[in-house]
Amino acid sequence: MKKDLKVIIVGAGIGGLTAAAQFLQRGFSVQVYEQASVLAEVGAGIQSSSNAVKVLYDLGLKKELDVFAVRPQAFEYRRYDTAELMHRIPLGQAHEDAFGAPYFHLHRADLHELLARTVHRLAPDCITLNAKAIKYEESDHGVSLHLIDGRVIHGDVLIGADGIKSAIRAQILGQTAVNYTGDIAWRGLIPVEKLPKGIMETVSTVWCGPKKHAVMYYLRAGALMNFVGLVEHDQPEEESWTQKRPWEELKRDYEGWHPMIQTVIDAMDKDACYRYALNNRPPVSNWSTQRATLLGDAAHPTLPYMASGAAMAIEDAAVIVRCLEQSSSVPDAMQLFQRNRIDRTSKIVVGSTESRGLYRIEDVQAMKQAFADQDLSKSRAQWLYSYDPLNVALV
Ligand SMILES: Cc1cc2nc3c(=O)[nH]c(=O)nc-3n(C[C@H](O)[C@H](O)[C@H](O)COP(=O)(O)OP(=O)(O)OC[C@H]3O[C@@H](n4cnc5c(N)ncnc54)[C@H](O)[C@@H]3O)c2cc1C
């Protein structure tokens, strides 16, 4: 299709910015509208497997990523009290050799800043801040985006990359189911100098136990330890990344867990413990119209249990650009995109929800057996990491 199409993206998160950079790199005209007054991300970690890193490399970001990315050697699933190893997924060189790109642990703010810088370099006026989208209209000839301050933006294609509370999703799909999972997520960052030297190898440790699990990995070239604690909790609370809760509650949640977890929690800044309600949104299958579509969390919000939400947004970004390049009309491209992304993203969303049970089995032998039966190392190699959004056939 002609590259003089005007693409409008709502949302400058990881998905929207990756899509903008991919479009610009391939010669499309694109504008991004972001509700926030400054471009920023919260302090937390993101795991990014080869399927997403390939897209970042395609944007020419290898050298910059190497400055702050951590290359974990493995995923290690350990018992919450004894630290006994239940399962191991090799990462490091083995992952890179098998799938053609590394597995990274990244600080969200570092990745977001790098993507924003890349978009600015390609098109300095591409991103408009203080631009909250409220609705859109479409016709056979184009699409119009309405902002809350009355501005109306005209274009050919609209992409809603506006996250889990997407206004564009609400218009396309109406009200969709949102169910509290019964889990909250704690998050915190710890400078490694506050921890005993070499407390953990360069791995991602998933501590598995009754009614809760916890994930730890290094960020920012090893300068920070990322802690995420996922705990069953009766009380639904706000779905907000910036809600703080008392450190004492976190400490209580992990009472009796392994000494390494106690050491990490004890070293955490007591005024910077964040807690977040995790909601489940079942997959949907009709997120495209004639001229509008959704990308990232707006399309397929997921629980974090397969560490693949941002990776899916990055994959979407590469695939939507290819769909517009390959199709003879915008409506065809919107359908091609949806058709080629639904099965994979639904499988990740459902798989993430199911993983929760595996990590929480009370009995040690039953947990060992369940890990052996599922063999995450093999199954993730077969379909999760081996996907290449830049080259997969689009049918
Ligand atoms: C605890 C936890 C751990 C996670 N860990 C991982 C991990 O290890 N690996 C991984 O791949 N993923 C992980 N994720 C998921 C990942 O964070 C998300 O999937 C990813 O950030 C989605 O990116 P996005 O660009 O689609 O949405 P967002 O990052 O939410 O960006 C949306 C943007 O749109 C803007 N916006 C919203 N509404 C409007 C509007 N009306 N008008 C204009 N702008 C608007 C917002 O301000 C924001 O900038 C995790 C999530 C959680 C909760």
Check if 110 has its Cβ closer than 6 Å to any atom of ligand 1: no
Report how far ligand 1's centroid is from the alpha carbon of 22 (Å): 18
At 287, which amino acid appears? W
Dist CA 332 CA 27 (whole Å): 20
Check if 308 has its Cβ closer than 6 Å to any atom of ligand 1: yes
Question: What pLDDT shows up at residue 2?
Answer: 67
Question: What pLDDT shows up at residue 169?
Answer: 98
Which residue, judged by its Cα, is nearest atom 17 of ligand 1? Answer: 310
The closest of 288, 263, 279, 276 to 339, measured between CA atoms, is 288
The closest of 115, 152, 156 to 131, measured between CA atoms, is 152
382 burial type by CB count under 10 A (0-12 exposed, 13-18 middle, 19+ buried): exposed
Report how far ligand 1's centroid is from the alpha carbon of 17 (Å): 11
Dist CA 228 CA 185 (whole Å): 6
Check if 10 has its Cβ closer than 6 Å to any atom of ligand 1: yes
Check if 147 has its Cβ closer than 6 Å to any atom of ligand 1: no
pLDDT values of the chain reduced to their tens digit, one per residue, 395 residues: 667 899 999 999 999 999 999 999 999 999 999 999 998 777 789 999 999 999 999 999 999 999 999 999 999 999 999 999 999 999 999 999 999 999 999 999 999 999 999 999 999 999 999 999 999 999 999 999 999 999 999 999 999 999 999 999 999 999 898 989 999 999 999 999 999 999 999 999 999 999 999 999 999 999 999 999 999 998 767 777 788 999 999 999 999 999 999 999 999 999 999 998 999 999 998 999 999 999 999 999 999 989 999 999 999 999 999 999 999 999 999 999 999 999 999 999 999 988 888 999 999 999 999 999 988 888 888 899 999 999 999 99
DSSP conformation letters of 226-253: EEEEEEE-SS-----TT-B--HHHHHHH
Check if 192 has its Cβ closer than 6 Å to any atom of ligand 1: no
Check if 39 has its Cβ closer than 6 Å to any atom of ligand 1: no
Using most ligand atoms within 8 A of CB, pick from 216, 275, 297 the residue to mutate for ligand 1: 297
Report how far ligand 1's centroid is from the alpha carbon of 361 (Å): 29
Which residue, judged by its Cα, is nearest atom 27 of ligand 1? Answer: 163
Ligand 1 atom closest to Cα of residue 185: 1
* Predicted TM-score of the model (pTM): 0.95
**Domain range summary for the chain, segments of one domain joined by +:** 6-177+281-384
Check if 168 has its Cβ closer than 6 Å to any atom of ligand 1: no
DSSP state of 171: H
Q: Would you identify the CATH topology of the domain 6-177+281-384? A: FAD/NAD(P)-binding domain (3.50.50)
Question: What pLDDT shows up at residue 168?
Answer: 98
Check if 167 has its Cβ closer than 6 Å to any atom of ligand 1: yes
For residue 205, is it left (φ>0), alpha (ψ between -120 and 50) or beta? beta
Using most ligand atoms within 8 A of CB, pick from 14, 108, 128, 348 the residue to mutate for ligand 1: 14
The closest of 138, 174, 135, 142 to 33, measured between CA atoms, is 135
Check if 133 has its Cβ closer than 6 Å to any atom of ligand 1: yes
